[in-house]
Amino acid sequence: MHTTAYQPLSSGFYDRPDVLTIARELLGKIIVTKFNGELTTARIVETEAYAGVTDKASHAYGGRRTARTEVMYGEAGMAYVYLCYGIHQMFNIVTNEIDIPHAILIRGAEPLTGIPVMLQRTGKKIADFTLTRGPGNVAKALGINTSRTGQSLVSDDFYLASDGFVPPGEDIIATPRIGVDYAGADALLPYRFIVSNNKYVSGKPFRK
């Protein structure tokens, strides 16, 4: 059963052609996990879009297909979770139709429910802004790891939802992505979307 206060996003939300629009519209949405009976929720405040085979920053650039990235070519609305530097779990959402490997990385979220569980998972003693700031922290706090790759985000224990909140348009800023210098000119594309002045946004402070 889904949490009654939230309206789960349908698969149609993810199955759209414009990855930038989806990345922007994910701001304010809520990630819900109910793993092993433990409910945690957090509101998305930072995303990064990756535009598939034409995007040098994407794992699927040039049509690359590996055992790890194959999920990106699958149905929209699935989780793509990979390990970065052998340490950080990185939670991405697959978008667009089959064989178009678009994905969106969740970089920052504001915790709402289950903060004691998040502290336990992360080993932190205090619920400061580092709890869910940065993609590795988001995934760790919410219990998301590589075993979730390929899981539908229209599941009872793992889904995204709306409670009707939408960040004001003037609070949303598009910036270049973080840590993709290897992508050359594509590293400069404004494919990162943040809620300005939110302390759970990763990277250097960026305020209007």
Among 66-80, 105-119, 193-207, name the one with the lowest average pLDDT.
193-207
pLDDT given for residue 124 in this prediction: 94
Arithmetic mean of pLDDT, 37-58: 97
Residue with tokens 């052609």: 17
Span 176-206, pLDDT tens digits: 999 999 999 999 999 999 999 999 999 865 5
Q: What is the DSSP letter of 78?
A: B
Q: Directed axis angle between helix 115-122 and helix 135-142, to 10°?
A: 110
Could you tell me the two tokens for 56? 């040098």
CA 151 to chain centre: 14
- Per this entry, what is the length of the chain? 208
pLDDT given for residue 3 in this prediction: 52
76: helix, coil or strand? coil
pLDDT given for residue 85 in this prediction: 73
pLDDT given for residue 5 in this prediction: 73
Span 125-171, pLDDT tens digits: 999 999 999 999 999 999 999 999 999 999 999 999 999 999 999 99
- In the structure, what pLDDT confidence band is assigned to residue 87 with cuts at 50, 70 and 90? confident
Arithmetic mean of pLDDT, 26-49: 98
pLDDT given for residue 1 in this prediction: 47
Domains of the chain plus CATH, in order, are 7-195 (3.10.300.10)
